[in-house]
Amino acid sequence: MMNDVINPRDLLAKLISYPTVSSDTNLPLVEWVEMFLSSYGIKSERILSPCGTKAHLYAQTGPEIDGGVMLSGHTDVVPVEGQAWSTDPWVLSERDGKLFGRGACDMKGFDALALMAMAQASTRPLKRPLQLALSYDEEVGCVAVVDLVETMLGALPRAREVIVGEPTMMRVVTGHKGGLGFHVHVRGFEVHSSLLPYGVSAIMQAARLIDWANQRNAENAARTPSELAAPFEPPFTTLHVGQIEGGTAHNITAKDCRFFIEFRFVPGESPDDWASAIEAKAADLSGEMQKIHPDTGIDMVRGFALPALTPEVNGAAETLARRLTGDNGQHVVSYGTEGSQFQTRGYSTVICGPGDIAQAHQPDEFLSLEQLAAGEAFMDRLLESLCA
């Protein structure tokens, strides 16, 4: 398709053909993107992961000046194992006005549109540059992108607007919750359950920490939401434990218990404050446990930390995206994106892309032809604005 008529559907089919599950390499896809951009005279750069099996990619076309627009997407997708797909997830297929394939919605549909826009921009008289940022490992915490953002700050003219193309049905999303997670290991002391007072059950102590989380949820739900929190659903910070494991037998106090706890916090609240709160509670419980046996306690390791995306006052990215979409509604989401990593480093950022987030991570994931066309029209208007 290189140097032929640029068709976003064909680009999407090519991107989907690379099974870039987060646990695997994305280098074949990155190599193909490099060749595609090069065929339009666009130079791109890689940033290799520490393990050397993955890479970010960034590129620019247009004048070498500040004030351009950056299109941001991720290349990784979630696994398909255990899901009942009716089609091959790595081959794009069409049915009933929908394009099926892993990543079609989240978010290779936007990636395809961004590549189309870059190729078309290379032949247009741009007054402002168009930049592309493709990351790896978004699906496992939105942390790896930090290296990409900070590298671009030193390597490219500074963009004025960043559009992160997560699926929003082409609505302009200006805020999302932040995320914070901890791997928790509760270390107990084994005795026969008939001698319970002389042992320390890791499971029962874990339950106390989890109940602390339940109490915080109840308090948060009862509190009047702040102005920043009110638009969210739910309009407060939530604490959640999705998996737990531990113990050896029903009549032995558990030696070990492990679980992962996550916080989804609203803009305006500090992840450091939440981290300090749970660490203080764990320390209190550890002190009580160690009065019974000194080798017990609670160990916590930070799993991920993602800032919240905060709606900007007179934000350049919001202004541009509303002009291009015609959407004047107020939209926020409770899931996290890489957008907040851009905003934290001074970029004006919004989330706006084709597809419905309800399709993300699902079997038979799809992007409707209607949404793909809406995204294409968005890119056409964007290029016109960059030439104005």
Q: State the catalytic residues.
A: 76, 138
- Which DSSP category does 106 fall into? I
Give the position of tokens 């398709």: 1
Q: How far apart are CA 159 and CA 163, in angstroms?
A: 10
CB 34 within 8 A of CB 126: no
User: Residue 379, SS3?
Assistant: helix
Give the count of alpha carbons within 13 A of 323, CB side only.
Answer: 14
Adjacent-strand bridge partners of 179: 264, 306
The dihedral formed by the CA atoms of 7, 8, 10 and 11, expressed in degrees to the nearest 10: 120
Give the count of alpha carbons within 13 A of 170, CB side only.
Answer: 20
Q: Is the peptide bond before 307 cis (omega within 30 degrees of 0)?
A: no
- Which DSSP category does 19 fall into? -
- Residue 281, H or E segment: helix 271-290
For the beta sheet containing 93-95, the strands, ordered from the edge strand earlier in sequence to the opposite edge, are: 93-95, 98-100, 366-368
